[in-house]
Amino acid sequence: MFIGEKHAPLPPPKLYRTVAVYKFTFTLFAIGLCLSGIRPAHAVPMDDPFGYFNVYSLGNINYSGGDFQGKAGAAGNVSFNHFSLALKDQGGHALHVGGDATLNNGSFYGGIEAGKNISVGNLGVYGDVHGGGNIGNTSGGTIHGNVYAGGSATLTPSITYYSKSSGVPYSPEADLAAISGYFAGFSAAVGDMADTGSIGSSYGSLNISASSGINVFSLSAADMYAAHTVNITGGSDAIVYINATGAAANLNSTTWKFYGGIASDDVLLNYADAATLSMTSSNNINILAPFADTTFNSGLVTGNLIVGNLAGNGQVNLEHFDHGPRNPIPEPATALLLCVGLASFIGLRFWSLRSGNRRKLARLPRGSGSNRSRKGISPR
C-alpha cells in the first residue's frame, strides 16, 4: 500500500471470530475424516518375541479349557473354548492370529487381531477387536472396546461393544511371518551349536554345570523324557541351551532345580528337529519346538511354549526366556500419522492467517478509513 492511499475497510473483529470458528471447525472436520474408518495406531515392541509372547504357534492352536497367563500368537488359525488369556499380562493385544479366530466362553484380558474372520460367543474381551475378514458372534458377551472389520461387522444385540466399523483396512500390529521365521531360525541356530560341556546322570537325575556366558548341552529326547529331575548350577550371568534331539519327543513331569544364581529364565529347552511333541504334567522351563505338532492335554508349563501346531487344555503360566536375540520387527505403518500431519498443517495455517490479520489491524492508525479502530471500538 502506497503512502497516502486510503485503507480499504476491514471486516469487524466479530467477523474475524466467525471466520476463526469456521477454520477451527474445518480443522476438526479434517481430523475426523482421517480418523473415521481407520484403525488406531499401536505401539507395542516386537523386538523381543520371547519376552512378548507367552505362547506361540507357527501353525494352529486348538484348545478347549485351560488358560495362558500371558499373550499368545499363532500364524494359522485359533480355536479357544472355555479359556482365559493374558490375565497376568494385561494391556494391548492379548491374541495375534494370522488366519481365523473362533473364540467361545472365556475372558481375554487384551485386544484381539486376526488376519481373516473372527467369531465370538459368550466372551469377555478387554480391548479392541480387529479382523481382516468378517466379525460376528454366536451368542452374547461383552467387548470392552471397538470392533473393526475388514469385511462386515455383523454383531447381534446380544453382545455389547463400544462401536463397530466395517470395511476398515486391516493393518496388523504383529508381523507373524517374521516372528515365525525368528523362532524357527533361532531354534535351528541353537541346534547347530557345538556342546560346551556334558550332562551328568545319576539315578534319573540330570546334572548340568554352567559357566559364565553361553553353555550348550545335548541329549536325546528319550533321555530327557526319562529324567525325573534336572539340576542346573551356574551363576546369574550363565545362559544354558539344552538341545533334545530326535524326531519324536515326549515330556512328562520333570522337576527343574536351579543353584548359584541361575534361574529358569536363563534356560531354554530346544527341540530343533522334533516333528511331534507330547506333553503332560509340570515343567518349569522354556520350551522351543517350532516344527513339532504338540499335544498338551494336561499339566502346567511355566515359561515360553513355542511350538508348531498346538492342541490340548494344559495351562501355561507367565515366564519368559530372557536371552533371545533382539530382532526389531517393525510395526506396520498407519495412515493416522498422515492425517495428524494434515490436521496440524491446517491448524498452523489457520493460526498464521489469523495472526497476520491481527498484525494488519494493529498497523492501522486510529480513526483511519476503517469505521472501526484496531480494538473494535467506534472512534469517539
Task: Report the 3 state secondary structure along the chain.
Answer: CCCCCCCCCCCCHHHHHHHHHHHHHHHHHHHHHHHCCCCCCCCCCCCCHHHHEEEEECCCEEEECCEECCEEEECCCEEEEEEEECCCCCCCEEEEECCCEEEEEEEECCEEEECCCEEEEEEEECCCEEECCCEEECCCEEECCEEEECCCEECCCCEECCEEECCCCCCCCCCHHHHHHHHHHHHHHHHCCCCCCCCEEECCEEEEECCCEEEEEEEEHHHHHHCCEEEEECCCCEEEEEEEECCEEEECCCEEEEECCCCHHHEEEECCCCCEEEECCEECCEEEECCCEEEECCCEEECCEEECCEEECCEEECCCCCCCCCCCCCCCCCCHHHHHHHHHHHHHHHHHHHHHHHHHHHHCCCCCCCCCCCCCCCCC
Residue located via cell numbers 474381551: 125
Name the pTM for this structure. 0.76
| CA-closest candidate to residue 24, choices 358, 275, 348, 280 | 348
Name the band, by pLDDT with cuts 50, 70 and 90, for residue 345.
Answer: very low
Mean pLDDT across the chain, nearest whole number?
A: 82
Q: How far apart are CA 154 and CA 157, in angstroms?
A: 10
pLDDT digits (tens, 9 = 90+) for 299-327: 999 999 999 999 999 999 999 999 998 76
Name the band, by pLDDT with cuts 50, 70 and 90, for residue 328.
Answer: low
Q: Which residue has the higher pLDDT, 136 or 35?
A: 136
What's the mean pLDDT in 35-40? 37
Q: How far apart are CA 279 and CA 287, in angstroms?
A: 11
pLDDT digits (tens, 9 = 90+) for 161-197: 999 999 999 999 999 999 999 999 999 999 999 999 9
Above 70 in pLDDT, residue 141? yes
pLDDT digits (tens, 9 = 90+) for 171-180: 999 999 999 9
CB 54 within 8 A of CB 318: yes
Beta partners for residue 80, in sequence order: 63, 103
Q: How many CB atoms lie within 10 A of CB 293?
A: 17
For position 29, what pLDDT does the model report?
38
